[in-house]
Amino acid sequence: MVFDTVIRNATVGTAADVFAADIAISGGVITALGRSLGPARRDIDAAGRYVLPGGIDTHCHLDQPMRGGVTLADDFLSGCISAAHGGTTTVVPFACQLQGQSVRAAVEDYHRRAKDKPVIDYAFHLIISDPTERVLRDELPALIREGYTSFKIYMTYETLRLSDRQIIAVLAVARGEGALVMVHAENADCITWLTEELEKAGRTAPYYHAASRPLAVEREGTHRAITMSEIVDVPILLVHVSGAEAVEQIRWAQGRGLRIFAETCPQYLVLTAEHLDAPGFEGAKFICSPPPRDAASQEAVWNGLATGVFATFSSDHAPFRFDDPAGKKRHGDGAPFTKVPNGVPGLETRLPILFSEGVNKGRIDLATFVALTATNPAKLYGLYPRKGTLAVGSDADLVIWDSDRDVTITNDLLHHNCDYTPYEGMRVRGWPALVLSRGEVVVDEGKLTAEPGQGHFLKCERPVPAKPPKGMEPGSE
């Protein structure tokens, strides 16, 4: 038998082990792992290199419709090209329900936006901003059964936030259908009050964005979300966790046996609130929510990554161009922080930053890197074992890493459509050399070899077992 491709002499890294093997690929899937595998139509020599599962970025915003005249810089083409260059082979962005809109209409619109563009595989999360009776009773259960098995809800942002009562209702649907709810946990009313106080004091420069959302705002939201998850008895995943106090809440909940999962992002490891204090309007480049914190929070987040508090590491790629009236300067150079769209780009730099700062600096081991960036996201969102691991039968989505390559991150190097990177000038060691999606090379030494539209849409399995409504479990009468 002749394989399509054999990657030879690899040091294979999975979430469990690191071992020497060849990897055989046929028909886009891994068909054998072993030593001295037989002939192939194409041989790739990976001697001296790690071969890891392709990254899965389960928190990124691509071509998401925005209000107020702002637009995201990346669509499914530029976003996926950028992701692939950074070693990511699956993305899961958000089909966002606008208030008054049906969720199905949002999903259909999002499929139209993606059509013929992705160069890597993709699935959709939903964002639920208007959980009407019809959405909860009909739309959500039907969409979950069709493969949209995770949805994000917001505790803040005027046009997106849900009340606690609405959150509970959404959690109850997730419980009944076996879906996973992702929670943006910040206390909206505290943010509003703090913002008004800052405005009265004339403190509206980008730096004060961080002051409007201090640690306690995230801590309280996190605790409240945990409480609602406990009451409804359904797992949740807290997204983009930034602060030491939120980490403490999550650790506490996990210690009590609650099924609380958590995600963090590169911006909370290598940026601080001081970045928002850059000269002029430059600090706007770093405005995101929650905001970057301080060294103590960075330390707490690293500790959480190393000790299993965090299940996933995503980019939260929310790319707004800086020098652009549809981006960070929507309301002009020097606009108050309240008028600056929230978010930073990071799809392409996610894996190199964690590899360099985490694995190469000894803060996490290689298995933890793989777990955080590929295996756990695949498991949590119903894509495993098709995605997220290197095993016989899994899609041949993999990255050959050059772990000794020194790279200085500059925006010119990147492939997103943003005009800046918050990591400009940062030096990293370790960069993807070759990226394969379903057995096809998509990036070869920095050169794109994939065609637009080559990525497949993925329906997600239900990530958690469905449960009967509270009070109707067997034995609960």
Considering only residues 139, 316, 357, 397, which one is a binding residue for ligand URP as defined by CB under 6 A? 316
- Say which entry of Zn ion, ligand URP, none residue 342 contacts (CB below 5 to 8 A, set by partner kind): ligand URP
* Angle (deg, nearest 10), helices 215-232 and 188-200: 160
Restricting to residues 169-208, name those near ligand URP by CB under 6 A: 184
**Chain center to CA of 317:** 7
Binding of residue 422 to ligand URP (CB under 6 A):
no
| Nearby residues of 308 by Cβ (< 8 Å), 6 or more positions away | none
Q: Which residues pair with 33 in a beta bridge?
A: 23
What is the binding site for Zn ion (CB under 5 A)?
Answer: 184, 316
Q: Which is nearer to ligand URP, 52 or 262 (CB)?
A: 262
| Distance between CA atoms of residues 13 and 415, nearest Å | 26
Residue 288 binds: one of ligand URP, Zn ion, none (C-beta under 5 to 8 A by kind): ligand URP
Token pair for 95: 């089909």
Q: Which of 55, 93, 343, 358 binds ligand URP (CB under 6 A)?
A: 343
Nearest residue (CB) to ligand URP, 3 versus 94: 94
Residue nearest to Zn ion (CB): 184
Given the complex with ligand URP, which of 82 and 289 has the nearer CB atom?
A: 289
Q: How far is the CB of 212 from ligand URP (least distance, A)?
A: 13
Considering the complex, state which of residue 33 and residue 215 has its C-beta at the smaller distance from ligand URP.
Answer: 215
Contacts of 346 (CB under 8 A, 6+ apart): 265, 266, 267, 315, 316, 317, 421, 422, 423
Selected from 9, 31, 82, 289, the binder of ligand URP by CB under 6 A is: 289
How far is Cα 168 from Cα 386, in angstroms, rounded to an integer?
Answer: 32
Q: Give CA separation, 281 vs 26, 270, 286, 321, 333, in Å.
A: 52, 20, 10, 13, 6
Q: Which is nearer to Zn ion, 213 or 329 (CB)?
A: 213
Out of 219, 240, 329, 379, point to the residue binding ligand URP (CB under 6 A).
240
CB 438 within 8 A of CB 121: yes
Q: Which two tokens stand for residue 131?
A: 């959980």
Counting contacts by CB under 6 A, is residue 318 touching ligand URP? Answer: yes
Q: Does 330 participate in binding ligand URP (rule CB under 6 A)?
A: no
Q: How far apart are CA 214 and CA 195, in angstroms?
A: 11
Token output for 185 = 């946990």
The least CB distance from residue 321 to ligand URP, in Å, is 14
C-beta separation of 107 from 143 below 8 A: yes
What does the alpha-carbon distance between residue 387 and residue 57 come to, in Å, rounded to a whole number? 12
Q: For residues 61 and 416, which CB has a smaller minimum distance to ligand URP in the complex? A: 61
Supply φ then ψ for residue 105, to 5 degrees: -60, -40
Count of residues touching ligand URP (by CB under 6 A): 9
Q: Which is nearer to ligand URP, 77 or 182 (CB)?
A: 182
Q: Which residues bind ligand URP (CB under 6 A)?
A: 61, 184, 240, 288-289, 316, 318, 342-343
